[in-house]
Each structure stands twice: as structure tokens, then as C-alpha cells.
Amino acid sequence: MENVNKKRPFGFYVCSLAFTFERFAFYSAKWLISVFVVASVINGGLGLTPADAAKMSANLVAFTYLAPIIGAYVSDRYIGARYLVPVGMILMGVGYLVGWQATSASMVNIMIILVSIGTGLFKCQTNAITGRLFDDPRQLDSAFSTQYSFVNFGSFFGTTILGVVAGVKGYSFAFLICAIMMFIDAAWFTFGWRYLGDAGKKPFKIDERNKENSKTKEEEEKKPLTPMEKKRVAAIILVSFFSVIFWVFWYLAYMPVYYYWGGETGVANWMIGNFEVPTAWFDSLNAFMCIALGPVLGSLWTKLSKRPKGDLSMFKKTALGMILLGLSYVIFAMADVTRAGKLAPLAWIIAFGVVLSLGEMVFSPLGNSFISKFAPPRLLTSMMSVWVLAVFFAGKSYGYLYEFTLKFEFATAYFTIAAIAIVSGLILWAMDKTLNGLVDEDGDTENVA
């Protein structure tokens, strides 16, 4: 067999580093909004309620998932992706400048709108350009895995550094750093155009490579779905429902860390020596665990695949991710039960974050790879949109869910969430053979371990 060419074009690193800068700013801003909105005016905040801040943070997450659908439509039909990317970066930078000067909830909402539109012009387009930089499709899995590491490095360094900076220089100054990072990012990507070849010069729908066999594609799209294709569409929609449950609870997890124990300053008085740990470091913990767990889980899945039974099926892996999410909430609730009115020991929060991240890393393979493999080709974009909309609804909902949990005792609310997540995972595990039957052409279940 011909060896895979492992040399990557420099344009790949242009795109990957662009993600590092952007995620540095985005994940920092996600935390900054949460603590800035609830901080008292005298401490440089807006003095609003945690419920208000949770909803604003949720809007940032939700609309940065929805906007790329619109951005992808533009880059597919009207403007080359490479020209949209720096425009998106500049819009995000302007948004963070608004955050730097924000004195009201309205200004925070303007920031969220600008950052969301900018993300819509940046995210899908940069991924699409990356995919077109490689002539050998066998390089893509490794390339996108490496790019995901660049994403997590950006998240880790952003929240780690700005968590400290915000405590010293204030939230507004931290927003300014986010803006500066995006302007540097726009300059970097524009400089890198020369290394992208022809990728992203033309709208993707009229790219010459996409015009091949267009008549055949049009004829194919007019054919009705086969029974198997209908089953696969049903499986994607069903599993997307479980995705909403997973992500709404995953995003919700950050809110109590910021507010219930984090107080109004974003610092929970957890100490390492004489240093107060910023709550932003909970985000840093997640990014660090994603970096650390990637190779570990990759090795585990490889080892399991060598068993006579084979690897766990994709549905069992996602079910296990749901169960781990539920177990993380058990730890969270136990932290409250055992603290006896005092601040929960930092070890409880670290354990919560580690198990939460482990659940994410086990669950996350479902998404794009599942849909890319099983969606009918003519409905690939539509099915991808279903998945994106599932995450959008999860992102839009968690702020309201957090507001609802405030009506109950902390442990009661979070033990209940734990139970819902675990039961959902067990249901998904029990449906494994049924779901495999829906997507498997031969009716067998591969990887039935």
C-alpha cells in the first residue's frame, strides 16, 4: 500500500494558528461575560444577576453555532472563503472592543451579535480551506486532529492568562486583549493567503472541482430516499436529541462554578499557597484535559478494536459519555453536600472538571464523523444543520435552565440532572443494536462490544 504523505503544507499551520488566536479570545470572552455582568459596578462590572449573565453567555455560545450556517451559505455561493475569514476576525475584534467599553447590558448584547456574525464568517470557512489544502484524503483525519489540538491550546492559554489578567487589571482590559488578539489574527491570516494556493479563492459551489459530474448529481438529488436512507435520517435525528441533552448539561456545568462558589468577582477564594484561583481556570482545566486525554483515548480505542469483540460501537461510546457526564454531576452535588456551609475544597471541583471533560471526549466523536458517514449524500448539508441546530438549542437553553435551578437547593437540582444524564445514557446504551440496525446496510451491528 502506498504510504500516506505526512508532510503538511504551511497553509495548514496558517489555518490552525488562526484557530488558536480565535479560541484564545472566544473562550476567554465566554468566561469574561459571565463574571463581568454579575460583578458589582464598583468592581468594574454591570451588577446584574447571575441568571442574566448566564443567558448572555448562553447567547454567545448559541449564536456562534447558528451563524456559521449562514456564513457557509455565503462562502458556498457568493464570496471565496479566504476573503470572508479576515472580515470575520475583524468583526470579532470590533465586538470585543465594544465589550472593553461596555457600560450596559445592551452593549454586551451588541458585542455578542458582532462576535457571532464574525464567527459565522470564520469557523466553517477556515475548516473548509484546511480540507482543500490536502490532495491525499488519508491525511485529513490526522490533520483535523492536530488542528483540534491548536484549538485547545488557544482555549487553555486564553483562559489561564486572562483569568489572572482580569483579576489584576479588570474585565474591561481583558476584553481589550481579546480584541487585539483578533486583529493580530486577521493580519496573520491575510499574510498567510500566499500559502493557501487556490483554496478558498472562489465560492465552493462554483469551484471547478465541485462542477464535475454536476448533471449526475442533479439527477441523483431528484431520486427518492431509499428505505435505508430514511432509517439513517431517523437515526441522526434521534441521536441529535440526545446531543441536546448532553450539551445543555455540559454548558450548564460552568455556571455554578462561576456564580455559586465564584461570587461576584470571578474568584472563588480557592487557594494554591497564597494565590487565589480564578474561576476561568475551570475552563483551562477542560482545555488541558482535552489535550491530555486525546492520545490516551485514542490508544484505548485502538486497544479495544483488537479484541475479538472489536471496539465499542459509536452509540455505546456516546452512551458512556452521557453516563460520565451524569457521574460528574454526582461529584458536583456531593461537593455541596460535604462542604457543610464552607467553600468546597478545590479537589472536588477538579474531580468534577476531569470527569466532565472525560465525558466530553468520549461523547464528542459522534457529531460530524457520524453524520458524514451515514447521512444520504444529497442531505449531508441538511443533516449537518440538524446537528448544529441541536447544539444551538442546547446553547440557547442552558442559561434559562440555570435560572430554573436557582429555585431549588443546589444538591437537589444537580442530583436530579445527574439522574437524567445517567438514565439517558443507559437508554442510549440499550438502544445500541436498534440504532446500529438503522444505519448498517446489512442489518448487522459492527463493533458490537
381 band by pLDDT with thresholds 50, 70 and 90: low
Count of other CB atoms within 10 angstroms of residue 33: 25
Which tens digits make up the pLDDT trace of 88-147?
A: 999 999 999 999 999 999 999 999 999 999 999 998 888 888 888 887 766 776 787 788
The whole-angstrom separation of Cα 449 and Cα 313 is 7
Count of residues making up the chain: 449
Q: Give the pLDDT band of residue 153 (cuts 50, 70, 90).
A: very high
Do 299 and 389 have their domain in common? yes
The proportion of the chain whose per-residue pLDDT surpasses 70, expressed as a percent, equals: 84
268: phi then psi, degrees, rounded to nearest 5: -95, 10
Number of domains in the chain: 2
Is pLDDT of 221 > 60?
A: no
Q: Does residue 316 contact residue 383 with C-beta atoms inside 8 Å? A: no
The residue from 179, 207, 235 where one domain ends is 207
Task: Say yes or no to pLDDT of 315 above 90.
Answer: no
Flag whether 185 is in a domain.
yes
CA 411 remoteness from chain centre: 27
Residue 381 lies in a domain: yes
Q: What is the pLDDT of residue 185?
A: 97
Task: Tell me how many degrees the CA angle 106-108-112 measures, rounded to the nearest 5.
Answer: 115
**275 and 171, same structural domain?**
no
User: Of 444, 140, 225, nearest to 313 (Cα)?
Assistant: 444
Domain boundary among 139, 174, 207: 207
The type of residue at 185 is D
Q: Judge whether 69 lies within some domain.
A: yes
194 shares its domain with 238: no
Average confidence (pLDDT) over 382-393? 77
Q: Which residues of 423-443 are buried (b: 16+ CB within 10 A; e: fewer)?
A: ebbeebbebbeebbebbbeee
Look at residues 178, 207, 236 and tell me which one is the last residue of a structural domain.
Answer: 207
Q: Shortest CA distance to 333 belongs to which of 420, 266, 269?
A: 420
In the predicted structure, residue 64 carries a pLDDT above the cut 60: yes
Considering 97-106, 219-228, 230-239, the range whose residues carry the highest mean pLDDT is 97-106
Residue 429 and residue 330 share a domain: yes
pLDDT at 354 over 80: yes
Q: Same domain for 203 and 76?
A: yes
* Residue 276, beta-bridge partner list: 271
- Pair (251, 133) in one structural domain: no
Interval 309-336 mean pLDDT: 90
Please choose, from the candidates 127, 174, 181, 209, the residue with its C-alpha nearest in 3D space to the C-alpha of residue 31.
174
Position of cell 455565503? 74
| Residues 77, 16 within the same domain | yes
Burial class (CB in 10 A: 0-12, 13-18, 19+), 41: exposed
Q: What is the pLDDT of residue 368?
A: 58
Domain for residue 270, yes or no?
yes
Residue 73, pLDDT above cutoff 50: yes
Does a structural domain hold residue 220?
Answer: no
201 with 239, same domain: the answer is: no
Tell me: the pLDDT tens digits for 2-28? 454 567 899 999 999 999 999 999 999
The residue to which cell 440526545 is assigned: 242
Pick the range with the lowest mean pLDDT from 191-205, 233-247, 369-383, 423-437: 369-383
Cβ atoms of 188 and 17 within 8 Å: the answer is yes
Residue 388's pLDDT is what? Answer: 76
Q: Beta 267-272 vs 275-278: how paired, if at all? A: antiparallel
Residue 266 has pLDDT above 50, yes or no: no
* 108 and 102 Cβ atoms separated by less than 8 Å: yes
Q: Which residue do the cell numbers 448572555 mark?
A: 56
Least confident range from 170-179, 248-257, 265-274, 438-447: namely 438-447
Spatial separation of the C-alpha atoms in residues 155 and 284, rounded to whole Å: 7
pLDDT at 217: 55
Could you tell me if residue 180 is inside a domain? Answer: yes
The residue among 58 and 148 whose pLDDT is bigger is 58
In degrees rounded to 5, what are phi and psi of residue 276? Answer: -85, 125
Residue 22 lies in domain:
11-207
User: What is the per-residue DSSP string for 365-387?
Assistant: TSHHHHHHHHS-GGGHHHHHHHH
| Average pLDDT value for residue range 161-180 | 94
* Confidence at residue 263, expressed as pLDDT on a 0 to 100 scale: 46
Q: CA quadruple 198, 200, 205, 206: dihedral positive or negative?
A: negative
pLDDT of 39 above 80:
yes
Angle at 139 between CA 202 and CA 216, to 5 degrees: 50
Residue scoring higher pLDDT (186 or 232): 186
Q: 89 and 139 share a domain? A: yes
Q: Which is more confident, 420 or 234?
A: 420
For the cut 50, the answer to whether the pLDDT of residue 1 exceeds it is: no
**Is residue 4 in some structural domain?**
no
pLDDT for res 338:
83
CATH of residue 203's domain is 1.20.1250.20
Average pLDDT over residues 281-303: 87
Residue closest to 304 by CA, chosen among 293, 289, 290, 316: 316
- The pLDDT score that the predictor gives to residue 213 is 52
Q: Which residue has the higher pLDDT, 137 or 250?
A: 250
Does the pLDDT at position 445 exceed 60? no
Closest CA to 360 of 295, 287, 439: 287
The arithmetic mean of pLDDT across residues 253-266, rounded, is 69
CA-based nearest residue to 108, from 154, 52, 162, 159: 52
In sequence order, what DSSP letters do the residues of 104-119 get, joined into one string?
A: SHHHHHHHHHHHHHHH
Report if residue 348 sits inside a domain. yes
What integer best gives the mean pLDDT of the chain?
84
Q: What is the DSSP string of 190-244?
A: HHGGGGSTTTTSS-GGGSHHHHTTHHHHHHHHHSPPPHHHHHHHHHHHHHHHHHH
Q: According to the model, what pLDDT value does residue 218 have?
A: 55
Sole residue written with cell 456531593? 334
Residues 203, 240, single domain; the answer is no
What pLDDT, on the 0 to 100 scale, is given for residue 250?
95
- The whole-angstrom separation of Cα 96 and Cα 230 is 44
User: Does pLDDT of 427 surpass 90?
Assistant: yes
Shared domain check, 142 and 237: no
Could you tell me which residue, 407 or 238, shows the higher pLDDT?
Answer: 407
Are 149 and 296 in a shared domain? no
Percent of the chain whose predicted confidence (pLDDT) is above 90: 46
Tell me what pLDDT residue 404 has: 94
Residue entry with cell 470564520: 122
Q: What is the residue whose three cell numbers read 462561576?
A: 258
pLDDT at residue 159, as a whole number: 95
pLDDT, average across residues 230-247: 85
Is residue 215 predicted with pLDDT exceeding 60?
no
